[in-house]
Structure 1
Amino acid sequence: MKCSIKAPAKINLSLDALRKRNDGYHEVEMIMTTVDLADRIDLTETDDGKIQVDVSEGFVPNDQRNLAYQAADLLQKRFQVKKGVFIYITKRIPVAAGLAGGSSDAAATLKGLNELWSLGLTLDELADLGAEIGSDVSFCVHGGTALATGRGEIIQKIASPPPCWVILAKPPLGVSTADVYKRLDVGTIQHAKTAEMIKSIKSQDFHGICNNLHNVLETVTLDLYPEVRHIKEQMQRFGADGVLMSGSGPTVFGLVEKESRLHRVYNGLRGFCSNVYAVRLIPSNNT
């Protein structure tokens, strides 16, 4: 028994941290949406009860540190599954990039093994399990566009933004999400206008979406890594309609409405940044 499933990346159209929680996490409000840059997860059922992971990129862990491994391990133990699985991950999403690549791999593994092992779990049940693995996994189970609250695990689906191009640019560095949150001072930040962003999305107001892009983690990461600030400034200079860092970074994305401008932004960034992608938003009904 085998199955293959896509694991799409996400971007944050809005990311706000409201307060520090007693459990050490931050209470967040995030509007996330999926883009059509995706890893591929191939699952092959085995009879030996073992979980094995292999990855197309050598620097990605293939043991218990891998979130796809953790997803398989969680399902196997929770539902006393005797079968094992061989997981092959073809990476296309950059690693440690603020695009939830590892979380999406875990979500895809949950969904694929739900079918492969005939567990009969609903998406909501899978999302609840995903929350035990990582804060972004619940969103990645659902995909599309959603408001995520709590520590990111409470998901409320919303309409998809209007179709547009998304340019992603990642400098050659990794960012620790925990380190960025540790340096964040919730008392002094300018908070995101989450309600305004939701209103703009619902009314399909592309320029309203661009005007309300906001990520409270940006100031921390841009101060720590001047390369990220440089990419953001250049993306704006080349003519992207709206520009923001995704998650804790270091990937910066630009929303572009017209294809004619897309090539200018893409080619301009390729001049000094090797990891540049031109992708589309994925409508909610396509995930």
Structure 2
Amino acid sequence: MKIYEKAPAKINLLLDVLRKRDDGYHEVEMIMTMVDLADRLEMEELPRDTIIISSQVGYIPLDEKNLAFQAARLIKERYNVSKGVYIHLDKKIPVAAGLAGGSSDAAATLRGLNKLWGLGISTEELSELGSELGSDVPFCVKGGTAIARGRGEKLEMIAAPPQCWVVLAKPPINVSTADVYGRLRANALSFHPSIAGMKAALDNGSFYDICARLGNVLETVTLELYPEVRQLKESMLKLGADGVLMSGSGPTVFGLVSKEAKLARIYNGLRGFCKEVYVVRMLT
């Protein structure tokens, strides 16, 4: 028996950091949603007690450094599963891009193994299990659109954005999330994007209000460290995207686009200096 799971990328419509916590994490408020750029996972039970991961790409770890591996190990240990599993990762989401590719792979692994082994674990339990693996994993378990609080694990499901096109562009650099958060001075931020304002825009299904409410305080760090991310944002706006923001800690920048007629110009314009450009739909 084989189980197939889709692991979609997430984008942050809003990301605010409130303070540094005593446990070393940051207290955040975010609004996250998913787009139709996805890794695909194939899972098959093995007779011996082992975890084997393969992928068609050569630039990701396939051992215990991989979040999907960690998810498989966690669910086996927590629910006393002595069977093994073979997982093939068909990677489509760029790595270290601010799109939660690894977290979504971990979430898909939890969902898939729950089915493969008939464990009967509820979505809430899987989400709690995911919080042990990473801050974005609980959201990736549930999917949809949500306000995330705490360090990202406290979720409030909210209205999805109206259907639109999303252009994703990742410059040829990798950004360390830990480094960005480490350089952020949360108590010195002069601007905090409005969670209430973005939630109201989503409730009303107002595409242009959503575009106007986009905000990410981590841009104050990443755009200073990596001028090419700032250039990407400016270019996307000039080319006609309706709303533009960096996702997560970067370096990927996304543009929300209402009219299909604009897409070719934006895509071709960005491909001039950025190889990894994707045109996808919002997952509503």
Runs of 4+ in 1 over 6 A off after TM superposition: none
Partner of 1:244: 245
1:233-252 deviation line (CA, Å, top 9, x unaligned) = 10011010000000000000
Partner of 2:204: 203
Counterpart-to-counterpart distance in 2, 1:3 and 1:109: 10
Partner of 1:112: 112
**1:5 maps to amino acid:** E
Deviation at 1:17, TM superposition (A): 0.4
Stretches of structure 1 lacking an aligned partner (at least 5 in a row)? none
SS of 1:281's equivalent? strand
Provide the TM-score with structure 1 as the length reference: 0.98
SS of 1:272's equivalent? coil
In the TM superposition, what are the counterparts of 1:9-24 in structure 2 within 5 Å? 9-24=9-24
Partner of 1:193: 194
Counterpart-to-counterpart distance in 2, 1:165 and 1:109: 28
1:252-282 deviation line (CA, Å, top 9, x unaligned) = 0000001111221111111211000000110
Deviation at 1:61, TM superposition (A): 0.3
1:34-80 deviation line (CA, Å, top 9, x unaligned) = 00000001101001010111122111000000000000000000011
Deviation at 1:130, TM superposition (A): 0.2
Q: Name whichever of 230-239 and 260-269 sits farther off.
A: 260-269
Partner of 1:47: 47
Counterpart-to-counterpart distance in 2, 1:227 and 1:45: 44
Counterpart-to-counterpart distance in 2, 1:264 and 1:58: 32
Partner of 2:134: 134
Deviation at 1:188, TM superposition (A): 1.9
The answer to whether structure 1 residue 275 and structure 2 residue 282 are counterparts is no
Deviation at 1:155, TM superposition (A): 1.0
SS of 2:202's equivalent? helix
The answer to whether structure 1 residue 56 and structure 2 residue 66 are counterparts is no
Deviation at 1:84, TM superposition (A): 0.4
1:82-138 deviation line (CA, Å, top 9, x unaligned) = 110011101000000000000000000000000001110111110000000000000
In the TM superposition, what are the counterparts of 1:61-210 in structure 2 within 5 Å? 61-189=61-189, 190-210=191-211
Counterpart-to-counterpart distance in 1, 2:263 and 2:207: 15
Identity of paired residues, percent?
63
Superposed CA RMSD: 0.6
SS of 2:3's equivalent? strand
Provide the TM-score with structure 2 as the length reference: 0.99
